[in-house]
Amino acid sequence: MLNFPPPHPDELLYSTVARAGIYHGIISPKQLLDEVFGNRSVIATLNLPSHIAHIADLLRNTQQYSVEDLIYRHTLFPLYAPFVQKAIRDKAIELMKGKAGGAVHMMLGVAASRIKAIHNFQACPKCIEDQIEHYGESFWKRDWFIPNLPFCLKHGPLFIYKEKPIDSRHHFLPLIESNLSLDSVSSMTPQDSLMLSATQQLLKLPSYPSISFDQWTQFYWELAHDFGYTRGKHIQHAQILKLIQQRWGKRYLQSKQLLCHENEENSWLKSIFRKHRKSFSFFEHLLIWQTFLPQEKLEDIFQHIHKIQPFSVVKTKSSENDLDISNQAEYRKLWQQLVRKYGIQSSRSQENGGAIYTWLYRHDYSWLIQFNSKHQMVRSASQPRVDWHQRDHKYVRELININQKFKDSFHTPRQSANWYLMQLPEHSTISHNLNRLPLVSKFLIRYAESITEYQLRRVCLAAELLFFSHQELHLWQIFRLAGLSKERLTLEAAKILKLSGFFNTDDDKN
Ligand SMILES: [Zn+2]
């Protein structure tokens, strides 16, 4: 095919092939396969396509697109690549160049993952407007198809269409909205937006280094250790589970198929903090990083893990045997210097830091642990002093604005203390320092909604809505609109509604 169109920024290759069909006026899907790939059996794959060498070849005159460029910039490969072993990553790239069958999906764990793959076509209507303005046409954008996160980072909810890519295996369907039928609109929670912005970082950088199983194992052990979730060499799994549930909420974890139970022996959460023998999905890793290291850039975390020298590797190095026990004092001093300068986490990736840490860990364990635990305070003292008083004022102003904005909103969930905190960008810092933020604490006590208040808000708003649309105020109608039933009311809410005459209508007898 001559004049194959170059992909737009963030466009899926699937979409570029579909546009090529439009440009050349090709209606028959099979003919399009013939023209582009010279092969009628190519399967139209949205997330991880194959036969990419053909497309790179069609674009060779532009001198801008190598096979790797197309894979990293125009498929969902970057969501999977950094989390699998190097050999698998290389093999997957090899397969995506040519005929892959279903092998790539199997290798990268897409097929067997707990993380639901995207089934339907979906798109952001505002992005489509932008695309038409900038490019004169619309196309399937890569960010709309992130598993578990059906949202646009810039605009939020996506339109989910009834049509599915698997409806027709050999058809590259172009994005022409009028041809699609809307099924639903996705709704986004504050937790989703955190996960989404972390995930977007994965798509931005061309290629993160591969991490070995030993490095993953050690990274998670250190993470648990640095945050006080170990006792001796043991991970305190139950405490970590509690933290994750507090941070994200059981309902959210459930909706992402990631809710674990304490007595579940091989839950994903326990497994990721144990010796790694298999790969975990991007979503599982990011969920933990967003819990423990919400301020860190993904790039820095990857660089840190990449530099980890696992114990098993260091052990075999001859230089390690040269470290003499008589030098204990020297190693302690060096470690102290490093930690004062870089903090515990980063010290291990400084020159010799890993070796010194490992030596101390193996020969001087109790001193190391004692020093590191004290250091948690040393580091916070050496950080620039935070003006909590000023922050307290700033946060409370923001909270008051949020309260004003959402007080008559039908759509927010219960405006609990946690809900209010989640609306603030630095919620994790705030929730850990509430004792330093008296105004924020007072606000939360005063304004956080109880279940009763939440139910009454919905009843009032439903009644108001019916009243202003000149409808009769039947109790059943109010309850239906409010998504409530008499049985689900709290005793207190029922009492208040009774006192205000709500239950004296005829409906009450039904
Ligand atoms: Zn958008």
37 and 153 belong to one structural domain? yes
Q: Measure 183 CA to ligand 1 centroid, in angstroms.
A: 18
Q: Measure 154 CA to ligand 1 centroid, in angstroms.
A: 5
- Residue 384's pLDDT band (boundaries 50, 70, 90)? low
- Residue 280's pLDDT band (boundaries 50, 70, 90)? very high
Structural domain including 343 reads 309-383
394 and 360 belong to one structural domain? no
Residue 287 falls inside a structural domain: yes
* Domain end point (choices 383, 409, 436): 383
Residue 157 has pLDDT above 50, yes or no: yes
Residue 209 has pLDDT above 50, yes or no: yes
Q: Is 444 exposed, middle or buried (0-12, 13-18, 19+ CB in 10 A)?
A: buried
Q: Measure 156 CA to ligand 1 centroid, in angstroms.
A: 7
Q: Measure 196 CA to ligand 1 centroid, in angstroms.
A: 13
Q: Measure 119 CA to ligand 1 centroid, in angstroms.
A: 19
Give the number of domains in the chain. 5
Q: Measure 366 CA to ligand 1 centroid, in angstroms.
A: 53
What does the mean pLDDT of the chain come to? 85
- Residue 177's pLDDT band (boundaries 50, 70, 90)? low
* Segment 84-99 mean pLDDT: 92
* Segment 14-31 mean pLDDT: 93
343 and 407 belong to one structural domain? no
153 and 248 belong to one structural domain? no
Residue 321 has pLDDT above 80, yes or no: no
Q: Measure 245 CA to ligand 1 centroid, in angstroms.
A: 30
Q: Measure 130 CA to ligand 1 centroid, in angstroms.
A: 8
Q: Measure 158 CA to ligand 1 centroid, in angstroms.
A: 8
Q: Measure 11 CA to ligand 1 centroid, in angstroms.
A: 13
How far apart are alpha carbons 299 and 78 in whole angstroms?
Answer: 13
pLDDT of residue 376: 63
pLDDT of residue 343: 80
Residue 3 falls inside a structural domain: no
Greater model confidence, 227 or 258: 258
Residue 320 has pLDDT above 70, yes or no: no
Q: Measure 251 CA to ligand 1 centroid, in angstroms.
A: 26
Q: Measure 133 CA to ligand 1 centroid, in angstroms.
A: 13
How far apart are alpha carbons 420 and 402 in whole angstroms?
Answer: 8
* Domain end point (choices 430, 449, 468): 449
pLDDT of residue 509: 40
Q: DSSP assignment, residue 435?
A: G
339 and 468 belong to one structural domain? no
321 and 333 belong to one structural domain? yes
Residue 428 has pLDDT above 70, yes or no: yes
- Residue 246's pLDDT band (boundaries 50, 70, 90)? very high
Q: DSSP assignment, residue 257?
A: T
Instruction: Give, for 391, the enclosing helix (H) or strand (E).
Output: helix 388-406
Residue 73 has pLDDT above 80, yes or no: yes
367 and 490 belong to one structural domain? no
173 and 227 belong to one structural domain? no
Return contacts of 128-134, CB within 8 angstroms, 24+ apart. Answer: 128/175, 128/177, 131/8
Residue 487 has pLDDT above 90, yes or no: no
pLDDT of residue 206: 61
pLDDT of residue 191: 93
pLDDT of residue 510: 40
Residue 5 falls inside a structural domain: no
Q: Which residues of 241-258 are buried (b: 16+ CB within 10 A; e: fewer)?
A: bebbbebbbeebbeebeb
100 and 167 belong to one structural domain? yes
352 and 436 belong to one structural domain? no
Q: Measure 124 CA to ligand 1 centroid, in angstroms.
A: 5
Q: Measure 163 CA to ligand 1 centroid, in angstroms.
A: 20
- Residue 381's pLDDT band (boundaries 50, 70, 90)? very low
Q: Measure 27 CA to ligand 1 centroid, in angstroms.
A: 29
pLDDT of residue 317: 40
Q: Measure 179 CA to ligand 1 centroid, in angstroms.
A: 19
Q: Measure 325 CA to ligand 1 centroid, in angstroms.
A: 60
Residue 104 falls inside a structural domain: yes
Q: Measure 390 CA to ligand 1 centroid, in angstroms.
A: 35
229 and 256 belong to one structural domain? yes
Q: Measure 155 CA to ligand 1 centroid, in angstroms.
A: 4
How far apart are alpha carbons 74 and 56 in whole angstroms?
Answer: 12
Instruction: Give all strands (DSSP E) within 110-179, no chain letters.
Output: 122-123, 151-152, 156-157, 159-161
Residue 313 has pLDDT above 60, yes or no: no
Instruction: Decide the pairing of beta strands 156-157 and 151-152.
Output: antiparallel
Residue 206 falls inside a structural domain: no
* Segment 72-94 mean pLDDT: 93
Of 4-18, 178-192, 369-383, the one with minimum mean pLDDT is 369-383
Residue 190 falls inside a structural domain: no
Residue 275 has pLDDT above 80, yes or no: yes
pLDDT of residue 417: 86
357 and 377 belong to one structural domain? yes
Q: Measure 118 CA to ligand 1 centroid, in angstroms.
A: 17
Q: Measure 12 CA to ligand 1 centroid, in angstroms.
A: 15
Greater model confidence, 482 or 77: 77
Q: Measure 234 CA to ligand 1 centroid, in angstroms.
A: 45
Q: Measure 283 CA to ligand 1 centroid, in angstroms.
A: 21
Cβ-Cβ contacts under 8 Å for 384 (sequence gap 6 or more): none
Q: Measure 159 CA to ligand 1 centroid, in angstroms.
A: 10
Residue 340 falls inside a structural domain: yes
* Domain end point (choices 277, 305, 333): 305
- Residue 244's pLDDT band (boundaries 50, 70, 90)? very high
Residue 194 falls inside a structural domain: no
